[in-house]
Amino acid sequence: MDEHTGDRGAVMGPGPDPGELIVGRDAVRARLFRAADSVPADRVLMLVGDAGAGKSTLLEHAVRRAEAGGARVLRAEGSESESSLAFSGLHQLLRPVLAEVDGLPGRQRDALRDAFGTGPATSGPDPMLVGVAVLSLLSGLGDHRPVLVVLDDAQWFDRASLDALSFAARRLEGEPVRMLIGARDGDRLPGFDRHVPTLALGPLDNAAAHRLLDLQPKSPTGHTRSRILDQAGGNPLALVELTRAASAQQTAAGLPSAGPLPLTAHLERIFAARLSGLPASTTRALLLLAAMDSADSAIAGSAGLPRAEDPAWLPAGQAGLVRRTGRHVRFRHPLVRSAVYHAASPDAQRAAHLALAEMLRDEPDRRAWHLAAACPHPDAAVSAELERTAGRARRRGGHAAAAQALQRAAELAPRREDSARLLVEAAAAAVFTGDLARVEELVAAARMRTDDAALLASAAVQAGRLAVLTVRHTVVFSRLADAAAKSAVSQPAAALDLLADAAVVRFYCGEDTQRHRIQDILRRLPENTSHPGLRTWVRAVSDPFADRARLVSSLPRLAAGAEDRPERLTAVGIMAWLLDETAQAVRAFDEAFDRWELQGALPEGLGGAVAWAYVERGRWEQARQACARTIAVGRAAGLDHAVACAATVDATLSAFQGDASSARTRAEEALALIDPLESRSVAVYAHRALGAAAAAEGAYESAYGQLRLVFTADGAPVHYHASYPALADLTAAAVRCGRHEEAALIVERSASALADNASPRLRALISRARGLLAGPEEAEAHFRAALADPVLEYWPFERAQTLLDLAEWLRRRRRIAEARGPLTEALEIFRRLSARPWIERARAESRAAGLDVTDAGPDALAELSPQQQQIVRLAARGLTNREIGEKLFLSPRTVGSHLYRSFPKLGITARSQLRDLIEGPLATAAHRG
């Protein structure tokens, strides 16, 4: 919701001095005050406007309001020069409460320390774990009193800090924590771009501008007043400062004679004019402060700046350039800093940076940037310093900061080959920010500096790694395939890497012409190119049913070779899932995650396979955890496609567990994030989820309509892998709404297309579909065939559906005694999975078969939301609220709130009763196999 205030008033003065008066902006101020008062309204609120619109003043008033009400205020100001230092903004914000970090759970505490450079940082902090730590810390502070987080000039916060803070901001529901953000209008703020209520401070209208001028100590009149109104353009800061300039000279001669000039140029000229006549000590102090512009006052003090009480600052304060806040001195506005800095000569600027670099020998990252700012020409030593800074940033998870440092290192590298190498490394770091345009810009810069085929191929691989996670599948596939074809002879290993990414895009897109292109390039690559698993990956991902038996036979060997490489073991798991070797896939994922907590700032290519494998294996709690992580990571990086992939899995689980409304919301969100022609896999998964949601409500016509979209008009699969598992569900809906013939054509066409390459799972689904379509005499054989292979126990939900179909058929044939066994087994599986619609259907059928089906404890779980079920199951295993929150990316308070609301529905009063409720006789099969 955007609020463009109609009662545009003004803000007195450019700096938030305690006695400063706000004129107008009543609606904005009231809404900020509601947040400061912790009124249940906006948990996160963004205030945007041009420089000088009054954002800082309004935020300062909100801070004083909150403090007067007893709230704990944490605040940080963005700094342009510190935007390249990973986690500097977060460190500034949390410095007053760093002692509280010791009370966090071990992994969260270590992640936060690693982020701040005070931990071992062996492999870099998990960005999501840093976000959980921030959320837990804010939640814990809220146990004592309300907390207000204020971020000013947020457009200059470093990316790592923004990622952690936006992660926490999206999870503040139910917390006594509010967040106010001030940012320049038009500047992108990663993580806060969507769904954040925004107040926009536009220019003042003519009446409000006159009111502001009337309130100035020396209100301008006549022609001077008209000039000021004209050139200020409704900007409150410009109105005040132009008035002060005119008043100081008792004439308008100091104002620009022709105009209007750009506003920033106006103000810089006005502020710069105040520098004339200042003592040399004051000018030097101002330039040092401008060159550092550090919100980190402790470091600024130790760097040799005069203390706040030093007489050197007095003339600057009298000139309206700085303000004293407690023990510190700060510029009254970023434009003052800009004016001071740019008014100095290049030699003076370099001297200031060199002086700061000398003072900051204990701060190697800041020192490196000051040395770089003092470099007018390439310098190998400074370039190396920045490269080391990038390495430290990467180890702390600051990928954006690393990319920025490497890019600057490349600019300062004297040798073109070193410059190109550094740009490729910068692109590799930028991949983890999710900013594809930035990656492509760095890759393009590298291409301009080198003809090295290996380096250029590496650059293409880096761009491709991120490109596969975007929604631009058709364009991305062409680029990857063209680059792979170009490198096939000179750089076959790089070509295979590119082809591996192209195969992922082929999976997402589902376009059949892409399969032919991949096969053509693969034939041109030597058999011994790179590690053997990569070639198998390309074939399995791009066409899993073409030579399934051979691909399946290679999995054990690849798994054995990946034992010490969790990322390769994960790839083996993905291939196993694609080949419907779900049990092997889950084992691979379990083994990989035991050694490797999915570190990294991006979801892996085909990362949704992990969640789908857990769904199919009946481990729905872990599937939801995988979805939560992918959604969190994808949103932080701005990767809509990754979010959409995970949302469809989550939607499917919600439908299976009877939460049709949530299922529809999630599926529709996924469809809104992608183009269905570009992302056929996501579109198919979304329609499968919508079909399952309709079936859960008994709306079989609607269910069939959604599932019919999974196949083309002539019955071919829309997607070569994602469509086939819907065959049985489509048939089940079809027979309930009179679409037998159409469903039969689709089933038989799919069976013919798969032929001998169909997996045992797909053969079982086809047999179930044929059983549903068959006449009274033929159905049993099909159902029995669908249940015959013992391996089918690895898909418990699908097996339970078939058992229920068989039992219904048997009961209708009056073979009631035979129906009871399948019914009992099906009901047990549905209960364990909390598949509420299926529990109800199986219980109704069981009663019709004369079985005594009383309400069992685990059935009470069906009354809970899917998220509450996850929390209850984890709590039953003995996990604390903090540990549960860490797994599900929630705050401990949110976890506790869910448990509090769940207990009455479960008929219990204490946490100690959960274990007996959940781990009763029906839960013994929960992790069988």
* String of DSSP letters for 406-448: HHHHHHH-SSHHHHHHHHHHHHHHHHTTT-HHHHHHHHHHHHT
- pLDDT exceeds cutoff 90 at 228: no
Amino acid found at 900: Y
Q: How far apart are CA 55 and CA 184, in angstroms?
A: 9
Last residue of a domain, one of 201, 230, 247: 201
HEC string of 128-183 equals: HHHHHHHHHHHHHHHCCCCEEEEEECHHHCCHHHHHHHHHHHCCCCCCCEEEEEEE
pLDDT top residue among 903 and 301: 903
The b/e string for 718-744 (b: 16+ C-beta within 10 A; e otherwise) is bbbbbbbbbbbbbbbbbbbeebeeebb
CA distances from 471 to 141, 246, 646, 768, 781 (A): 40, 54, 14, 35, 44
Q: Residue 298: pLDDT band by 50, 70, 90 thresholds? A: low
Q: Which ranges constitute the DSSP H helices of 596-699?
A: 608-617, 620-637, 640-656, 660-673, 680-696
pLDDT score at 333? 77
Q: Is residue 83 part of a domain?
A: yes
* 151 contacts 179 by C-beta, under 8 angstroms: yes
Omega before residue 796 within 30° of 0, cis = no
- Mean pLDDT along residues 30-42: 75
Q: Is residue 6 part of a domain?
A: yes
Q: Are residues 119 and 232 in the same domain?
A: no
| Torsion, CA 461, CA 465, CA 467, CA 469, rounded to 10 | 170
Q: Are residues 175 and 228 in the same domain?
A: no
Q: Is residue 889 part of a domain?
A: yes
Percentage of residues in the chain having pLDDT higher than 70? 89
pLDDT score at 76? 92
pLDDT score at 260? 45
- pLDDT exceeds cutoff 90 at 645: yes
- Mean pLDDT along residues 540-553: 93
Say which residues have a Cβ less than 8 Å from residue 245's Cβ, sequence separation at least 6: 254, 255, 270, 273
pLDDT score at 300? 55
pLDDT top residue among 606 and 104: 104
Say which residues have a Cβ less than 8 Å from residue 788's Cβ, sequence separation at least 6: none
Range of lowest pLDDT (456-470, 487-501, 635-649): 456-470
Last residue of a domain, one of 181, 201, 221: 201
331: helix, coil or strand?
strand
Q: How far apart are CA 653 and CA 897, in angstroms?
A: 23
Q: How far apart are CA 472 and CA 478, in angstroms?
A: 10
Range of the structural domain that residue 34 is part of: 2-201
Q: Residue 858: pLDDT band by 50, 70, 90 thresholds? A: very low
| Greatest mean pLDDT among 465-469, 491-495, 913-917 | 491-495
- The candidate with the shortest Cα–Cα distance to 753, out of 742, 761, 762, 743, is 762
The secondary element (H helix, E strand) that includes residue 184 is strand 177-184
Q: Are residues 143 and 195 in the same domain?
A: yes
Q: How far apart are CA 21 and CA 57, in angstroms?
A: 9
Q: Are residues 46 and 183 in the same domain?
A: yes
* 728 contacts 695 by C-beta, under 8 angstroms: no
Q: Residue 473: pLDDT band by 50, 70, 90 thresholds? A: confident
Q: Is residue 311 part of a domain?
A: no
- pLDDT exceeds cutoff 60 at 21: no
- pLDDT exceeds cutoff 50 at 80: yes
Q: Are residues 158 and 15 in the same domain?
A: yes
Q: Is residue 425 part of a domain?
A: no
- pLDDT exceeds cutoff 50 at 10: no
Q: Residue 120: pLDDT band by 50, 70, 90 thresholds? A: low
Q: Are residues 97 and 214 in the same domain?
A: no
Q: Residue 23: pLDDT band by 50, 70, 90 thresholds? A: low
pLDDT score at 471? 79
- Mean pLDDT along residues 642-669: 94
pLDDT score at 924? 38
pLDDT mean across residues, the chain: 85
Q: How far apart are CA 149 and CA 13, in angstroms?
A: 24
Q: Are residues 223 and 133 in the same domain?
A: no
Q: Residue 579: pLDDT band by 50, 70, 90 thresholds? A: very high
pTM of the model: 0.77
pLDDT score at 625? 86
- pLDDT exceeds cutoff 80 at 862: no
* 171 contacts 891 by C-beta, under 8 angstroms: yes
Q: How far apart are CA 164 and CA 133, in angstroms?
A: 9
| Contacts for 33-36: CB closer than 8 Å, 24+ residues apart | 33/61, 33/62, 33/65, 35/62, 35/148, 35/178, 35/180, 36/62, 36/63, 36/65, 36/66, 36/69, 36/71, 36/148, 36/178, 36/180
- pLDDT exceeds cutoff 90 at 764: yes
Q: Which ranges constitute the DSSP H helices of 813-835?
A: 816-833
Backbone angles phi, psi at 151, to 5 degrees: -115, 110
Q: How far apart are CA 658 and CA 656, in angstroms?
A: 6
pLDDT score at 566? 79
Task: Write down the number of H helices and E strands in the chain.
Answer: 46, 10
Percentage of residues in the chain having pLDDT higher than 90? 42
pLDDT score at 859? 59
The secondary element (H helix, E strand) that includes residue 899 is helix 892-906
What burial class does residue 804 get, using C-beta atoms within 10 Å of its C-beta: 0-12 exposed, 13-18 middle, 19+ buried?
buried
Q: Is residue 588 part of a domain?
A: no
pLDDT score at 873? 85
User: Which residue's entry shows tokens 């190498």?
Assistant: 421
- The candidate with the shortest Cα–Cα distance to 228, out of 259, 273, 201, is 259
What burial class does residue 770 get, using C-beta atoms within 10 Å of its C-beta: 0-12 exposed, 13-18 middle, 19+ buried?
buried
Q: Residue 234: pLDDT band by 50, 70, 90 thresholds? A: confident
Range of lowest pLDDT (124-138, 420-434, 576-590, 861-875): 861-875
Q: Are residues 210 and 176 in the same domain?
A: no
Pair type for strands 2-4 and 198-201 = parallel
Q: Are residues 23 and 127 in the same domain?
A: yes
| Greatest mean pLDDT among 91-100, 232-241, 316-325, 330-339 | 91-100
Range of lowest pLDDT (34-38, 397-401, 624-628, 900-904): 34-38
Q: Which ranges constitute the DSSP H helices of 736-865?
A: 740-754, 760-773, 779-788, 796-812, 816-833, 836-848
Q: Residue 456: pLDDT band by 50, 70, 90 thresholds? A: confident
Rg (CA), the chain: 32
Q: Residue 327: pLDDT band by 50, 70, 90 thresholds? A: confident
Q: Is residue 57 part of a domain?
A: yes
pLDDT score at 194? 66
> Which is it for the CA torsion 252, 258, 263, 265, positive or negative?
negative
Say which residues have a Cβ less than 8 Å from residue 929's Cβ, sequence separation at least 6: 583, 617, 793, 794
- pLDDT exceeds cutoff 80 at 167: yes
pLDDT top residue among 804 and 271: 804
- Mean pLDDT along residues 406-417: 94
Last residue of a domain, one of 222, 243, 272: 272
531: helix, coil or strand?
coil
Q: Are residues 467 and 493 in the same domain?
A: yes
The secondary element (H helix, E strand) that includes residue 49 is strand 44-49
3: helix, coil or strand?
strand
pLDDT, tens digit, for every residue of 717-761?
999 999 999 999 999 999 999 999 999 999 999 999 999 899 999
Beta bridge partners of 76: 151
CATH code for the domain of 922: 1.10.10.10
pLDDT score at 269? 76
CATH code for the domain of 52: 3.40.50.300
Say which residues have a Cβ less than 8 Å from residue 608's Cβ, sequence separation at least 6: 630, 645, 646, 648, 649
pLDDT score at 259? 40
Q: How many domains does the chain have?
A: 4
Q: Is residue 517 part of a domain?
A: yes
Q: Are residues 222 and 176 in the same domain?
A: no
Query: What's the number of CA atoms in the CB half-sphere (13 Å) around residue 72?
Result: 18
Q: Are residues 98 and 228 in the same domain?
A: no
pLDDT score at 252? 41
Q: How far apart are CA 641 and CA 471, in angstroms?
A: 6
Say which residues have a Cβ less than 8 Å from residue 814's Cβ, sequence separation at least 6: none
Query: What's the number of CA atoms in the CB half-sphere (13 Å) around residue 443?
Result: 22
267: helix, coil or strand?
helix
